[in-house]
Each structure stands twice: as C-alpha cells, then as structure tokens.
A and B are shown apart, each in its own frame.
Chain A
Amino acid sequence: MKEGFRQSMTWLHTWGGLLTGWVLFFVFLTGTAGYVDAELDRWMRPEKPLMAPQVAQADALDRGLAWLEAEMPTAARWFVIPPGNREQADLRAFAEAYPKKEGARGQRVSAYLNPETGVPVVYRETGGGRLLYRMHYQLHYMPKLAGEWIVGFCTMVMFAAIVTGVIIHARIFKDFFTFRPGNGQRAWLDAHNLLGVLALPFHLMITYSGLLFLCYVYMAPVIATDYGWERKEIRTFVEGMFNSGPHEIPERAGRAVPLVPLAPLVAEAERRWGEGGVRQMEVRHPGDANARVIFYLGERIPDRARQRMVFDGTTGAVLDDGRQDRPVPQAVAQTFLSLHEGLFAGPVLRWLYFLAGLAGTAMIASGLVLWTRKRQARLRGARGFALVERLNLATICGLPVGIAAYLWANRLLPLDMTGRAAAEADALFLAWAVLALHAGLRPAARAWAEQCWVAAAAFGLIPLLNALTTERHLGASLPAGQWELAAIDLGCLAFGAGFALVAWRLPRRRPVSLPARAVGEAAE
C-alpha cells in the first residue's frame, strides 16, 4: 500500500528526531547555557569584585592603553574593553603583533586589569560559560571542523523535524492550550506538542540561523565559486558575513607619530552615544603616522551592524561616524545571526531567550521519551528498545549532572593546578560517563528516579558549595543587589527543585499490565 503524505512525514519526524535527538539535546542545553555565558563567566571567577567600581570610561580606557603600551608598544592592533559589560567589573586589554609572514597570525597578549589601578588581576583558570557556549557548535574532544559538521548535520535534521512536526500535528489550533497531565503517553505527547508549538518562532529562528552561522563550512563550494578557494579569499567572505564592511584602514606608514590623547575622542563619542556608550576600543597601528582609533557602540537592536566611530589617531579628526550601508543580503544574514546570539538582549529579553532555549531542550527530551512510551508495550525486551531507553536516560539526566559537575569542579579543583580549565571540562564528561554507565546497569524505572535525585542534589547543593568555598554566595550577592551573580545560584536551586519534583512524581516501577495507549484511551 502506498503511504500517505502524512505517514511519510511522521516517519521522517520520528526517526530523524530519534537518531539526532541525543546530540541535539546536548546542543540545545549547552546553547541555552550560552545565553548566560557572561553571567556564568563571572560566577566561575569569584575573585572578581562584587561591585563594579565607578570609573570614568576615558580613565579606564587610558589605563588599558598604558598597559598595552608597556606590554607591546609596536602592534598591529590594540583592543580595550572597559568595565560595565554584562560580566565585567574589570578591564580587558588585548594586543596583536604584526604577523611574521603574510597570512600568519601575529603574537597575542591579553590581560584583565583592575580599572582603578590598571594593574593586572589574576583569576582562577576556567573555561567559564564560554566553554559551554563553544561546545554547542563545536562539541568537545575533537577537531573543530568535525564537531561543526556533526552539529550541522543534526541541525539540518532538526530543521526538517520542526517542519514535519508542524505538518503532522493535525490539531495544532484545537490543541493549542491542551495539556492532560499524567504519566501516560498522551501527557508526553501533549507536552511535546506544547513545547514545540508555543516556542515555534524560536525553534525555527534558532535552527535556521544556526545553519546560517556555519554556512561557510557546510556550503564551502558555493562560496568558493564566487570568492575562490584561497584561505585569504574565504576570509573575505567570512569577514563580510560577520562584520560590517571594515572602514578602509590604511597600511602602516612606518613613521612614528605619537597617539593623540584619548579624552577628547571619548568625549566626542559620549556626546553622540550617551555616557558609557563606548563598549570597545580598537587602535590600529598605534604610534604610527597611519594610526586609527575606533570606538564601537554595543549592539542594541538585532542587526549586528555595530555602530562605530573612526578617528585619525594622530590628529583626532573624525573620519567615519556612522553605520555602514550594507547590501541587503548581508543585512538579512546578519540580522539572523544577531537574533541567534541575542547579544542585544537586556535582562528581561535574556530571560525570555533562556526560557525559550529550555523549552527547545525539553521539547527534544519529551520527543525522545515519547518514542519509548509509544513502543514500550510492543517492544519491551527488544535490544534496540533497551538501547534507546538507556541512551535517553543517560542523556536527559546525565548531561545536566555533567554541567553541574563542571560548576562543582570550578569550586573544588586546586587553584594552582596546571590545565585547570581542561580538568573542569573533564569533570563534566566524567560525571556524564558515570551516569551513562549507571543508566546501562540499573533497571530502567529505578535508574530514572535515582538519576533525578542525583541531579537534584548536584544542582540543589551548589549554592551551599558556593557559600563554603567563596565570598560570592547568595548571602553576599543578594544584599548587594548583584542579581546576575545571584541568578546562577538561584537558577541552580530551581533546577535542583525541578529534578527533585520529577524524581518524587516518578513511579517507582514501570507501569505493568495495560499498554500506555489503552490507558490513555480509557481516560478520554
């Protein structure tokens, strides 16, 4: 018999979703953590001051320049990020030397500085939230390119699963608000549908723009036909895709001319952008006759067109003071990238991004569980079924516990240990491996409850661990009104409570007798 359109869509949705679901769960969960990467960075460096010192931006920028001047007086570029960004009460300075030969990367130095004194500050070595963020598109323990291809393939399947999911959801409007709680298959289907439909705009946007991000990897030949295969030519494309066309920066003149004082330049920028408007400063060819000082305004709307001002570094004259006109395709692509990253998001919008990310993660998890619920009466005992059941548990409980272990390692590993950041990541995967092993060895129903309790403890005890090991615990962050810091502790508490609730509600044994479907129908 010829299968109908909807059946074949269902087939694609079911099997595509199942085979990529475990990787997608990882991608979505670590990506969601990426929305609070700066907050995690700060939490994972508890040596940072509790309160940002009040320093005038021009002074902070000057102190950054002073350090760079001493560290690398002749450089291709200097970069200073003043305090006041999401994660930072400190000042970041970064310099890159002229490359030794064409196409190579110049030597780099960077440091965190105290914005009041300009003296470098040393923090514990950590991967921070950035590492989780990077994992969501490059995975870990493998070459960058391999990770990008695996994630790209799964993302493509995700995109197909979203579209087919909408097609096969026959009652998308009728069931818009429908959730029938319980432990049967129907509750899982309702949950899967709700999480998919209510956050559908986010799912579509995040998946499509995710593919767009690495299109230069996945569709290299298409780009090469226009740009060529040379590394330098591909760079031209990538630069154009990710940055607005660079203002023409001249080559180095080779004649030494001192850099103009910064204060008037900062004053000019603040006149246009408001006080504290300068988010980043770049100096090209410092100390050269062709020096350029560039100020960047932070991203405030989802367009990725970073507004900036370019000054002549020897006279202080304004050379370029606005936004570039972008070709339409570039503007469209950059808007998608910007929507994906959400860098423009303030606290409320950041929460919405985070919640939508969690909804996506939960949608994937519920889809994986649903696959087993649908088949448990028919396939119980089959080897493939057992494998899926174990992998589901190992992923859905194991990875969150791994992330909690990453935070535990951040607090517990010796501070002077070499390779500390790598060891933190190892802790994540070690904890995950242990839970995966546990999932493989224990009876399924009991293993779920046990792992949920482990996850509840792993997250729920983090505020306590934090209070025992640092001065940046809730007792300090809450009275000081440092919500970005407190939110990590409170978020861990909430995750712990959530896992405890699930563990509490889980049946101790797998429901015997009636297949889930019959129970569901009887209840209707």
Chain B
Amino acid sequence: MRNHILIILIITLFSLNSKAQSTALGTVSIDLLNEITLLGIKPLGSINFIFSSPITAGSPIINPIPNTSKWINYTSSIANSNTNKRITVHSSEVLPGIDIKIVASPANSSGAGVKGTSSGLITVSAVAQNLITGIKGAYTGNGTNNGHQITISLDVSNYGNLIKLDNKQITITYTITE
C-alpha cells in the first residue's frame, strides 16, 4: 500500500509542475481608422471643343458635340454613418456668352458601397456647385467605364456677349468634400 502511495506522490509532484496547456492564442488587428477620400478623373488629359461657323447666313453657331469621355472615380470611407461626402465642380473662369454644362450619370455597377447621386445638369461657374452628393463608404472602381460618366457640353447662351477666342483654356476642378 505504501508503495502505491509513494508512486502516486511522485506522479502528483510532477503534475504540479506540469504545463497542461492545450490552447495558445495570438491576436490579429487591422487598422482602418483613417478615413479615406480619394477622387480621380479618368482618362487623363484635356478635351477640345470647337464651335463651327454656320453655313448659311442667319443660322446659329453650331455647338460642339458634347464630350462623354471622362469618368469620375472615387474611394471613400467614413467612421460615422451620418457622414456624407459630395463632389463639387467649378471652372477657372466663365466664357462670355457661353455656358459650360456638366452632368454626372448615375454610378454604374462597378465597385461597391453607398455611391453618390447625381445632382443633375448644372451650369458651371467659378463658384463650386454640387455635382454628386450622398457618398458614404464606397469605391467605384478605377479607370474608364467605372464610376460616374460625365457629359460636358458647351452652348451659346448669349450671342450679344460672344467674343472671338483662340485656344482658350479653362480648368474645371472637381473636389470631393464632406
């Protein structure tokens, strides 16, 4: 009997010093804390508009063909669900007698998230106006055929103010903001 007690005692002493661990653990953390706000116009490069002279006397100036080559891409993340972002547009100057009009199409199916809503056709001026509103956490995809297609058109709005312009360059600025 005492022999058995001794054996049990020895085993117990070893067990007390044992490491009966069966689970180990580590942590994984991902930091998405920084809100992201990125905007791009694709493809890069300028676009040209040319007004054509009328063929017959008394006819109006022929407006240039609207340009649909540009696409708005954006990436937006938000920390607060109440946050909305918007894209505004303004021009470096206004041409006498000519309206520059811009409309953004609804976002296409590329990307994901809560993409923005087009504000419809706006006449661009030196003052920033909303082009797209209601952007939350979303991305549109990068490049042509992703995001919102932009249609830019130039119309004569006032013949009385028209002046002759050669290679006039105007910068249209798009800004994404809260």
Tell me if chain B binds chain A.
no
